[in-house]
């Protein structure tokens, strides 16, 4: 498995649990899906976002952000506010949490504390979403798909979480927000992943929970699948993917034309 960036030492012991998804099927029915056709039968490479797609990490992220804010002498946020800041990498999360008046130096200090705190607590409450383990197992056992993770989360944290949840043997590669010069939605990472997965653009699909993931797919010329249970459903109303699922276990059937 390819990993870009420094490895995180001392990752926590392996565990994998599932929790109830927060989004309902009613939400997905209001989204316009632009494609659902035989193109899906060509898919051989699946590129997954991490937070909000494979893992429910929002509580550990929110607790770590509030610990950082307390350390910086800033007022804490309600968790729902922090959830809205997730998706563009750790620095953006810290900057948004500190507010518009924060200086670059304050963001730098806040980021350092956040990363240190999160490194210790990133698996306290983080679990797989329902259906994720089963879907990944099905994709793997079919021997039809090559799979990878592409997230804006720092790669060392991403790798440690994937290892801690016993998912490492499912993925050919794991790339994070510091793996390339530019983060998602820039297509740079997808171009590398297509080589890693030995796939053409027509054979690849990005699976994610936000408009960042859809825009990444569009910028890269590949298909996009959105999940309704993550953190970015509202943004996908303006940037609809090619297919939506309420549970990742629905995706194998969608790709088979079901």
Residue 24 buriedness (CB in 10 A; 0-12 / 13-18 / 19+):
exposed
Residue in 49, 51, 213, 242 annotated catalytic: 49
222-249 burial string, b = 16+ CB within 10 Å, else e?
bbbbbbbbbbbbebbeebbbbbbbbbbb
d(CA 153, CA 178) in angstroms, rounded, equals 8
Structure tokens at 133: 């383990």
- pLDDT at position 233, please? 85
Is 137 part of the annotated catalytic residue set?
Answer: no
What angle separates helix 58-71 from helix 90-98, to the nearest 10 degrees? 50
Which pLDDT band, with edges at 50, 70 and 90, does 23 fall under?
Answer: very low
Q: Is the pLDDT of residue 229 over 90?
A: yes
Chain segment 77-123, per-residue pLDDT in tens: 999 999 999 988 899 999 999 999 999 999 999 999 999 999 999 99
d(CA 94, CA 251) in angstroms, rounded, equals 33
- pLDDT at position 32, please? 42
Chain segment 182-202, per-residue pLDDT in tens: 999 999 999 999 999 999 999
Dihedral sign computed on CA atoms, order 235, 238, 240, 246: positive
- Asked if 166 and 66 count as a contact pair (C-beta separation under 8 A), the reply is no
Domains of the chain: 2-56+127-255 (3.40.50.1000), 58-121 (1.10.150)
Chain segment 39-83, per-residue pLDDT in tens: 899 999 999 999 999 999 999 999 999 999 999 999 999 999 999
Mean pLDDT of the chain: 88
């Amino acid at each position: 498995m390819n990993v870009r960036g420094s490895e995180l030492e001392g990752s926590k012991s392996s565990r994998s649990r599932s929790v109830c998804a927060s989004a309902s099927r009613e939400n997905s029915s209001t989204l316009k899906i632009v494609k659902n056709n035989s193109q899906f039968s060509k898919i051989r490479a699946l590129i997954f976002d991490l937070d909000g797609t494979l893992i429910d990490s929002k509580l550990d992220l929110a607790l770590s952000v509030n610990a950082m804010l307390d350390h910086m002498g800033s007022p804490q946020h309600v968790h729902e506010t922090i959830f809205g800041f997730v998706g563009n990498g750790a620095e953006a999360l810290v900057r948004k949490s500190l507010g518009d008046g924060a200086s670059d130096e304050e963001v730098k200090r806040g980021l350092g504390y956040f990363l240190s705190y999160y490194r210790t607590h990133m698996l306290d409450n983080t679990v797989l979403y329902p259906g994720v383990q089963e879907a990944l197992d099905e994709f793997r056992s079919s021997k039809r798909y090559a799979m990878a993770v592409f997230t804006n989360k720092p790669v060392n944290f991403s790798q440690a979480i994937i290892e801690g949840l016993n998912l490492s043997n499912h993925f050919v590669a794991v790339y994070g927000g510091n793996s390339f010069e530019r983060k998602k939605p820039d297509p740079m990472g997808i171009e590398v992943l297509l080589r890693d997965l030995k796939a053409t653009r027509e054979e690849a699909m990005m699976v994610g929970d936000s408009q960042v993931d859809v825009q990444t797919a569009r910028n890269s010329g590949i298909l996009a699948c959105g999940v309704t249970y993550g953190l970015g459903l509202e943004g996908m109303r303006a940037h609809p993917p090619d297919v939506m699922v309420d549970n990742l276990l629905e995706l194998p059937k969608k790709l088979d034309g079901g």
